[in-house]
Structure 1
Amino acid sequence: MTTLQDCLARDAQDPLRGLRKLFKLPEGVIYLDGNSLGAMPVAAAARVVQAVTQEWGQGLIRSWNSAGWFELPQKLGNKIAPLIGAEAGEVVATDSTSINLYKVLSAALQIAGQDAPKRSKVVSERSNFPTDLYIAEALCRQRGYDLHLVDSDRIEAALADDTAVLMLTHVNYRTGAMLDMAHLTAQARAAGALTVWDLAHSAGAVPVHLHAAKADFAVGCGYKYLNGGPGAPAFVWVHPRHADRFWQPLAGWWGHAAPFEFTPDYRPAPGISRYLCGTQPILSMTALECGLDAFVAAEAVGGMQAVRAKSLALTDLFIALVEERCAGHGLGLATPREHGRRGSQVCLTRKHGAYAIVQALIARGVIGDFRAGASILRQAQDRPGSARTDDHDILRFGFTPLYTGFADVWNAVEQLRQVLAGSEWERPEFNQKHAVT
């Protein structure tokens, strides 16, 4: 049986343990929701104050040049690039994930329309993050394509000679299941289709290798594992073979080849810079840079390989402790046990009371979140790759290796055990739904 002392000993040997001091975590809180909103870097508050009081307050408009504001999308993109297997000059931080998805899916459909005009289908996973499906649905309606949704174990079978684009999220937001990017991209290429990957739940948590996988387009989030703050700018990557082929659909002045020439006609910037649109949110970008600097620090202690190793160790421990200490309380597991198919979160299932259990945990200082699970795809644990449909809801726990420790995992499970054993979750105040779950 694993004890708290065992976990403290593991923390003492953790090569990433020194990175925790880079984040401001409230006393008495175990934060297991970094997959939804990352913790605040210690440096962020002072950096944003500096940007407000000095760069904006004193520098005023001069700071576009003197403080380097104008180059921030590319500067931050270059810090994101090594986390996702891209090269310098191929990524920009800008806009939101949804807007960036609209840009790259539009470009992918333009390429497909030119290279393979008879292809009429966009394929995606049925349990993909809803905003991705909404964007795809809208674009398919506009462009005359069909959006074809399938379960995760039917993706390959859905690829055919009528497929224009395969659009997938690398790690499923609801189950934590991770798709095999290299294999599925290769299957799409063999079928003559382009690939668009959403890295919102993988960038900064698991190593991503866009070039090695020969992917075509990717977008991702700045405020989850990258710890950029609420609503932080997202990012967009386009393989260089595609970057200069078409305008992206939001042809704004920041994506112009020479924005300060103020010409009436649009001339797109070369490469990834054409995927910019309007004036950038500089204050948000200064906060995002602080989150990215934590990954620069992580390079000295093993980088993303060390982050991934710890992520798997933390999630292994959480699964084992829940099954050991919370047995008999109706909890199931939606997240794959197989390391190659798991992101950096663990999703527990329960037929009734999942929302209230999460609220009771939050009241005790253990912060996770809830996701409704009507007809979720629950991974069969003993047979990787198989699945069945179930109507259980989700208790979702994200593990950010930069600041989460092994003792945090033990203590979180102990609080869960107490909530379940004492039926604490049945109290009325924990069954009142909030707007954000």
Structure 2
Amino acid sequence: MNRIEREDALELDRADRLAAFRDRFVLPEGRLYLDGNSLGALPRATSDAVQRVVSAQWGQDLIAGWNAHDWIGLPQRIGAAIAPLIGAKPDEVLVCDSTSVNLFKLIAGALLLRPERSVILSEPGNFPTDLYVAEGVAALRGGVRIDLHEADSIAEAIDETTALVLLTHVHYTTGRMLDMAAITRAAHAKGALVLWDLSHSTGAVPVALNESGADLAVGCGYKYLNGGPGAPAFLFVAEALQTQIRQPLSGWMGHDSPFAFEDSYRPAARLDRFLCGTPSVIGMAALEAGVAQFRDVDLPALFAKGRALSALLVRLMGERCAGFGFQLASPGNAEERGCHVSFRHADAYPVCQALIARGVVGDFRAPDRLRFGMAPLYTRFADVFDAVAHLETVMRDRLWTEPRFQLRGRVT
């Protein structure tokens, strides 16, 4: 097999049927952005959308905007737009709060549905907020413990004591993609529920919640959905569970008739019961613009491009950066990983900083991971080639050893 050259990457870009979507995003000149798995790029439509809400709607219509512009319907409207990306029905997805808050709601709700069971099952190294929130719910509930098993043994670990299996579909560091359908079947066979974190999946890889029989899910709005820093998150509750499950954050927006202003709480009939407080209209407007970028995308082509981009990165690293101490920390098979790829390296942090100084934006995850995320809506094959070429230079010339690259900020 011949070594890949830049012209090969450019040829892939010329053949890319999704190439025109890149023009919908603001991507600074001279920067190779391979961190869309942490924060998606700004869609060009977002600034106008937010300005319209601020100036024309809030500025001119004031409080009348709740009805005049259906601000009150944003959680359901954006949820319905996200639904096709995760294989769900429009009335099974709701945009609200943050991923962490939605985890709390759904973990607590799942435990209430299985009061005779005492175990939340997850894997070591799951995204910290998932484990931290589970710990918090378990402490409030009392008598609940969290058992951690490696992903390969999760299915076998499920038994009659398991109330909930809590897993991330695409792992935040390794990029490993779990078999949602198989694990869900194993859980249901033992009477347990499953809650999937889709934060590193939605908009990047195929997700089939209904086809897999999934019970519950949460996801992030600011990664591949391009909703902006701290964008609202979403949750999914399977239609069959919506009238059974209770959530503990019984805020007024989850009331059956919030504007009746009753003293006692009556949960909304179905998914709306998972609302809590007033939606952040400006944040919702930005997320709605981000999600809208997927409206006319050929999703199978999008997911195929994501796999091809990650496969190119892995191959180029093998061809150009072998011998520099990198170890692939993601699955070698592109079918088994998401759209980000991680490499272990003893000096991953300063290497990452040296790359950023050269305009190549990936990220570092403690303790030793260098992570590159390909967002198929706007990442080019040539971007991947050029990023690896820069990394080769950083390593060959030992640029990462400069003292300035050893200093760590509050956000790493």
Shorter-chain TM range is over 0.9
| Aligned counterpart, 2:67 | 65
Paired residue for 1:390? none
Larger displacement relative to structure 2 (238-247 or 164-173): 238-247
Q: Distance in 2 between matches of 1:367 and 1:213?
A: 35
Structure 2 CA distance, aligned partners of 1:349 and 1:34? 20
1:342 aligns with 337
Q: Distance in 2 between matches of 1:415 and 1:20?
A: 22
**In structure 1, distance between residues paired with 2:114 and 2:303:** 35
Secondary structure at the aligned position of 2:222 is classed as: coil
Matches within 5 A, 1:178-197: 178-197=177-196
The match for 1:319 is 314
Instruction: Kindly indicate whether the alpha-carbon contact (under 8 Å) linking 1:177 and 1:341 is maintained by their aligned counterparts in 2.
Output: yes
Partner of 1:376: none
- What amino acid is aligned across from residue 263 of structure 1 in structure 2? E
Q: Identity percentage over the alignment?
A: 50
Query: Partner amino acid for 1:418?
Result: T
CA-atom RMSD in angstroms: 0.8
Give the match for residue 45 of structure 2. Answer: 43
8 Å CA contact retained: 2:310, 2:334 = no
Pick aligned residue for 1:134 from 132, 135, 142: 132
1:395-414 equivalence runs, <5 A: 395-414=370-389
Contact map agreement 2:123 2:167 (CA 8 A) in 1: yes
Q: Structure 1 residues 212-221 or 136-145, which shifts more? A: 136-145
**2:400 is aligned with 1:425:** yes
Give distance in 2, aligned partners of 1:22 and 1:404. Answer: 12
Q: Distance in 1 between matches of 2:334 and 2:396?
A: 30
Distance in 2 between residues matched to 1:189 and 1:320, nearest whole Å: 39
Aligned residues: 409
The match for 1:367 is 361
- The counterpart of 1:329, out of the listed 315, 319, 324, is 324
User: Shift of the alpha carbon at 1:199?
Assistant: 0.4
Runs of 4+ in 1 over 6 A off after TM superposition: none
On the 8 A contact 2:103/2:218 being kept in 1, the answer is yes
1:13 equivalent to 2:15? Answer yes
Name the structure 2 match of 1:109.
111
Q: What SS class does the counterpart of residue 26 from structure 1 fall into? A: coil
Residue 395 of structure 1: CA displacement? 0.1
Q: Higher mean Cα deviation, 423-432 or 47-56?
A: 47-56
Aligned twin of 2:145: 146
Native 8 Å contact 2:170 2:177 kept in 1: yes
Aligned letter for 1:327? Answer: A
Q: Please, which runs of 5 or more residues in structure 1 have no aligned partner?
A: 374-392
- Hey, what's the Cα distance between the residues in 2 that align with 1:250 and 1:164? 20
What is the identity, as a one-letter code, of the residue corresponding to 1:102?
Answer: F
Aligned-residue offset at 1:342:
0.5
Verify: 1:355 aligned to 2:354, yes or no: no
Deviation of the 1:269 alpha carbon: 1.0
The residue that corresponds to 1:77 in the other structure is: 79
Between the aligned partners of 1:214 and 1:99, the Cα distance in structure 2 is 23
2: CA distance between counterparts of 1:336 and 1:283?
38
8 Å contact kept, 1:90–1:271: no
Distance 2:135 2:262 in 1: 34
Q: Is the 8 A contact 2:9 2:385 kept in 1?
A: yes
Check whether the contact 1:94–1:235 (CA below 8 A) recurs between aligned residues: yes
Write the mapping of 1:257-336 to structure 2, written as runs, cut at 5 A. Answer: 257-298=256-297, 302-303=298-299, 305-336=300-331
What is the CA deviation profile of residues 10-30 of structure 1, one whole-angstrom value per residue up to 9, with x for unaligned ones?
Answer: 101101101001110001111
Which position in structure 1 is the counterpart of 2:95?
A: 93
Deviation at residue 246 of structure 1 after TM alignment: 3.4
1:165 — aligned with what?
164
- Aligned-pair distance for 1:242? 1.0
In the other structure, the counterpart of 1:228 is 227
Contact between 1:198 and 1:218, CA under 8 Å: does it hold in 2?
Answer: yes
Given the two structures, how large is their TM-score scaled by the length of structure 2? 0.98
Letter in 2 for 1:414: A
Aligned residue type for 2:227: G
Report the TM-score when normalising by structure 1.
0.92
Question: Corresponding residue for 1:249?
Answer: 248
Deviations 1:314-346 (A, max 9, x none): 000000001101111000100101233211101
Equivalent position of 1:205 in the other structure: 204
Give distance in 1, aligned partners of 2:64 and 2:126. 43
SS at match of 1:248: coil
1:297 Cα deviation after fit:
2.6
Is the partner of 1:435 in helix, strand or coil?
coil
- Between the aligned partners of 2:167 and 2:282, the Cα distance in structure 1 is 31
Task: Please give the secondary structure, in 2, of the residue aligned with 1:77.
Answer: helix
Matching residue's letter, 2:379: T
User: Is the CA contact 1:220–1:236 (under 8 Å) kept in the aligned structure 2?
Assistant: yes
Contact kept, 8 Å, 2:307 with 2:335, in 1: the verdict is no
* Cα distance in 1 between the residues matched to 2:51 and 2:209: 35
